[in-house]
């Protein structure tokens, strides 16, 4: 029979053993340490990439503008497993060799696919050996000042840096330079530094709610992000099958959140489009395309990308109360987009649409009409001449460009066939600009 004191000593011995056992000691500690913030970062870390490159900038000197090389850095997020990445335009602008490093340390050289100057967003692509994890996306429509947010990025070149803070305010307008002004930004006190640009702002659930874009110079703890709803809308335009594959589906949609679940509602369907011909109607909720779950317009573009003309793609939707339908959408080439559309894109690097004559008259311009530029291909002749989306092409060589027929005539002319630079005239903010644009090795037949 043991003495009571010996039982007390035995208890102390057992506790000492438990305390000295690493596995048992850290089990409870690990559970406490894995906070919601840790879980949020772990859930998206493989979808975040670091971007490096070199660019040439001009600096004022005693002998004028002296170009110099600077190191560029930024961040991006994977939006499609085939290697499509969204980032800021200013991160990749002027960078000839865009280097992208994945979370596992693998580095690729990326191609600039498209960009939107107004929102400062760009789409780049890497040719990875395996599918890349796609970032988990939330919504910026229900953000609350005061809620916790997390920023992840390549801050000052320190890769995969994590900072946290709160949402300070919403719908901010920020002028960061003479040429760049942002609208409807999220303001946060999470530390956002040079190199964070293009990286995700996360909510506590690990969902991307914005793209970090700007720091208020001279201010402490004030950063800004582009709302994710805007990011997804622009990304769908940059990654559209019309832009990348020259295909057409004819769907215009918007994402609505019902009980916290994202749904892609069809706003309108173009007449005689592939979507219209297969039976898609305004008001439908598209749930999947080619077995990819659909939450955003970007998902539709992703699902239809890389398919062939005439290929049949399965589409599922809900119509009304629980009425589920399965349709077969057959991809077509761009509708009335004939050889002219292809030629203008391949030869000059622009897409255009006619501007109504009464719109010109309301602006008191001396021109009779023009063609508004709706897209500019990266590294194209138009991009090299700094032609922008929103510019209006009013003339080329000695001809007016009032209609697409005018442009078609010019592109078929002998001056284009001779591959000589041709003078162009554009209208921007009621000011006329001109220059000489080279042409690519292409001719309309």
Which one of the listed residues 47, 140, 168, 197 is annotated catalytic? Answer: 197
| Secondary structure class of 142 (helix, strand, coil) | coil
- Whether the CA torsion 403, 340, 408, 349 is positive or negative: it is positive
DSSP state of 347: I
Q: Note the pTM of the prediction, 2 decimals.
A: 0.70
What residues have CB less than 8 Å from 328, skipping those under 6 apart? 278, 312, 313, 314, 315
Q: Residue 120's closest CA among 92, 88, 153, 72?
A: 88
Query: What pLDDT was estimated at residue 219?
Result: 61
pLDDT for 332 equals: 82
Cα(289)–Cα(303) distance, integer angstroms: 6
CB of 112 closer than 8 Å to CB of 105: no
pLDDT at residue number 15: 46
Query: Does residue 3 have an active-site annotation?
Result: no
Q: Select which of 120, 229, 233, 284 is catalytic.
A: 120
Here the tokens at position 43 are 């859930």
What Cα–Cα distance (Å) separates residue 34 from each residue in 27, 40, 260?
11, 10, 25
Residues 150, 158: Cα–Cα separation, whole Å: 16
Find the helix or strand (DSSP H, E) in which 39 lies.
helix 36-44
Q: What is the C-alpha separation between 349 and 363, in angstroms, rounded?
A: 27
Q: Copy the structure tokens of residue 383.
A: 């991009």
Query: How many CA atoms within 13 Å lie on the side-chain side of 258?
Result: 8
End-to-end CA distance of the chain: 107
Distance CA 335, CA 177 (A): 40
Tell me if residue 259 is catalytic: no
Contact 115, 95 (CB under 8 A): no
Residue-level pLDDT, tens digit, the chain, 445 residues? 445 544 554 454 444 544 454 444 444 567 889 999 999 999 999 999 999 988 765 554 444 454 555 577 899 999 999 999 999 999 998 888 999 999 999 999 999 999 988 899 999 999 999 999 999 999 999 999 999 999 999 988 888 899 999 999 999 998 877 777 899 999 999 988 888 999 999 999 999 999 999 776 666 678 999 999 999 999 999 999 988 887 889 899 999 998 889 999 999 998 888 898 999 999 999 999 999 999 999 999 999 999 988 889 999 999 988 789 999 999 887 644 456 666 788 888 888 877 766 666 566 567 888 888 888 887 788 988 999 988 999 999 889 888 877 888 888 888 777 777 889 999 988 889 999 998 865 433 3
Sequence-separated (6 or more) residues with CB below 8 Å from residue 118: 389, 390
Marked catalytic residue, from 47, 80, 90, 380: 90
Q: Running DSSP on this structure, what letter comes out for residue 265?
A: E
Distance CA 231, CA 88 (A): 10
Distance CA 230, CA 296 (A): 11
**Residue 18: phi, psi to the nearest 5?**
-60, -40
Q: Is 270 a catalytic residue?
A: no
Distances (CA, A) of 379 to 59, 90, 113, 165: 23, 15, 10, 39
DSSP state letter for 336: S
Distance CA 320, CA 373 (A): 39
Phi, psi of 70 (to 5 degrees): -130, 150
């Amino acid at each position: 029979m043991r003495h009571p004191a010996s039982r007390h000593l035995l208890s102390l011995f057992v506790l000492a053993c438990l305390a000295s056992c690493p596995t048992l000691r850290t089990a409870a500690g690990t559970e406490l340490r894995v906070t919601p913030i840790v879980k949020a970062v772990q859930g998206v870390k493989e979808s975040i990439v670091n971007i490096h490159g070199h660019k040439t900038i001009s600096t004022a000197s005693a002998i004028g503008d002296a170009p110099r090389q600077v190191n560029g850095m930024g961040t991006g997020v994977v939006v499609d497993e085939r290697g499509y990445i969204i980032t800021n335009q200013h991160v990749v602008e002027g960078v000839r060799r865009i280097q992208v490093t994945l979370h596992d340390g693998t580095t690729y050289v990326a191609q600039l696919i498209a960009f939107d100057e107004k929102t400062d967003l760009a789409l780049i692509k890497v040719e990875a050996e395996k599918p890349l994890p796609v970032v988990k996306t939330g919504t910026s429509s229900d953000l609350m000042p005061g809620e916790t947010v997390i920023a992840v990025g390549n801050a000052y070149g320190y890769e995969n840096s994590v900072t946290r803070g709160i949402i300070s305010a919403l719908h901010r307008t920020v002028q960061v330079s003479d040429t760049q002004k942002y609208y409807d930004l999220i303001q946060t006190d999470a530390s956002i530094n040079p190199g964070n640009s293009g990286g995700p702002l996360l909510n506590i659930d690990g969902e991307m709610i914005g793209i970090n874009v700007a720091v208020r110079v001279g201010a402490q703890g004030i950063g800004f992000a582009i709302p994710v709803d805007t990011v997804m809308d622009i990304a769908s335009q940059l990654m559209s099958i019309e832009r990348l594959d020259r295909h057409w589906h004819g769907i215009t949609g918007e994402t609505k959140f019902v009980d916290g679940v994202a749904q892609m509602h069809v706003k309108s369907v173009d007449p005689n489009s592939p979507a219209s011909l297969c039976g898609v109607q305004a008001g439908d909720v598209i749930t999947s395309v080619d077995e990819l779950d659909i939450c955003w317009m970007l998902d539709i573009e992703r699902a239809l990308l890389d398919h062939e003309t005439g290929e049949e793609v399965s589409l599922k939707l809900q119509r009304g109360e629980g009425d589920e339908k399965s349709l077969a959408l057959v991809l077509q080439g761009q509708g009335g987009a004939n050889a002219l559309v292809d030629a203008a894109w391949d030869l000059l690097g622009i897409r255009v649409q006619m501007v109504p004559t009464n719109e010109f008259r309301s602006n008191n311009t001396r021109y009779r009409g023009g063609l508004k530029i709706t897209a500019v291909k990266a590294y194209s002749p138009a991009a090299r001449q700094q032609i922008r989306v929103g510019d209006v092409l009013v003339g080329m060589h000695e001809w007016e460009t009032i209609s697409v027929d005018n442009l078609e005539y010019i592109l078929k002319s002998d001056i284009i066939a001779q591959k000589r630079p041709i003078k162009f005239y554009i209208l921007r903010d009621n000011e006329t600009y001109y220059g000489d644009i080279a042409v690519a090795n292409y001719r309309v037949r």
